[in-house]
Chain A
Amino acid sequence: MINIIWFAMMFIGLVVAAATGKIDAVSEVIFSSAEQAVAVAFSMISVMTFWLGIMKIIEKSGLIHWVVKILRPLSVLLFPRLPQNHPAVHAILMNMSANLLGMGSAATPFGLKAMQELQKLNPDAGSASDEMCTFLAVNTSSITLLPTTVIALRAASGSQNPTEIVGTTIMATLVAWTTGIIAERLLRNFSRAGRR
């Protein structure tokens, strides 16, 4: 699947560039995008290193059990087949809390830790598990109490009331979140592991 999508993106990009006379831009874009991708990965090193260190402290001190206790209903609802005391659930709940509190820089390290733990429970290592798909459905519609970037952007462009979109944003996110989770439950049987 990912092979077809990537091929289609590259193919359409190249063909349209040729057809619209932007062929000169192609090699420049390839170079600058690749450079940007490496820069993203490198800028993640610092953040990942810091938050994975903090995560270890949270686990070792037992603070994680408070997080798990508070958010257990959510993880039971979303991940009924995961053992609720597994590190995978810990990392998932930390990721969701970080997103909720607007700690975007912490959310990704916790999320990647969650993926690594989910991979340990994955019966077919080459293929996404149902739990991973649920987790990503939760993540791509990132629930946050405060869309800080947008508020800052609105304030910067002279809004009379930069925070007035908080309500509509939370409602739209909730719709996306619920839709994603329901869609995942409906689609998982059509894309059983082993197939593509």
Chain B
Amino acid sequence: MLQSLLQILAAWSIPLFLLLVLVYAVYKKVDVFDTFVEGAKDGFQTSVTLIPFLVAMIVAIGLLRASGAIDLLVGLLEPLLTRFRIPGEILPLALMRPLSGSGALGITAEILNSYGPDSFVGRVASTMQGSTDTTFYILTVYFGSVGIRKIRHALAVGLIADFAAFAAALIFCTLVFG
């Protein structure tokens, strides 16, 4: 019941939103086509500006993944986690989540398939995947679009928030699902 309601909401949110925007604009006597074109013309430039920033960051992340550096880090950290009785299976996801959206989604899918979506690890992985976004990607794209390279404390803040999300995912899943 709740699930189908949520699915309907997800499918309808964009169409309904667009309908509301357009009907309200026509009601307010806005020339919708002219206005759309005027706003839309910046889209190309903004996207193309991002290319050098994206190439730099995605290549570096690709190298980290393909070289096995992340696997190496997982191996180093795993004993520490088992001491705190945290399932080590979620560690690759926690490390990948801030770096690569597609990479993290792949790991989550892999965890759900091998341990089952309704296992404790599966639930923690699902919560982790959904509760934060790809910090490195967002910083690259957002700062890249305005050409800022001195990002000050933005990365530190993003990673602290990610860490908080992972800890919270573990704690809340333990409390809710035991």
Give residues of chain B (117-151) contacting chain A, Cβ–Cβ below 8 Å.
Answer: 117-118, 122-123, 126-135, 138-139, 141-143, 145-146, 148-151
- A13-B64, A50-B40, A136-B142 are known; give 15 further A-B pairs, CB within 8 A: A6-B57, A12-B69, A16-B67, A17-B63, A29-B63, A57-B30, A101-B13, A103-B13, A127-B148, A146-B9, A150-B130, A165-B127, A173-B130, A176-B165, A188-B153
Q: Quick one: closest A residue to B11, CB to CB?
A: A148
CA gap between A33 and B140 in the complex, in Å: 15
Task: Determine if A16 and B130 form an interchain contact, defined as CB atoms under 8 angstroms apart.
Answer: no
Query: Which residues of B pack against A, CB within 8 Å?
Result: 2-3, 6-7, 9-10, 13-14, 17-18, 20-22, 24-25, 28, 30, 32, 35-44, 46-48, 50-51, 54-69, 72, 98, 105, 108-109, 112-113, 116-118, 122-123, 126-135, 138-139, 141-143, 145-146, 148-158, 160-162, 164-165, 167-169, 172-173, 176-177
Task: Determine if B142 and A30 form an interchain contact, defined as CB atoms under 8 angstroms apart.
Answer: no
CA gap between A112 and B147 in the complex, in Å: 12
Give the interface size bracket for A toward B: 35 or more
> Min CB distance, A144 to chain B, in Å?
7
Cβ of A187 < 8 Å from any Cβ of B?
yes
Q: Quick one: closest A residue to B6, CB to CB?
A: A146
Give residues of chain A (64-102) contacting chain B, Cβ–Cβ below 8 Å.
Answer: 101-102
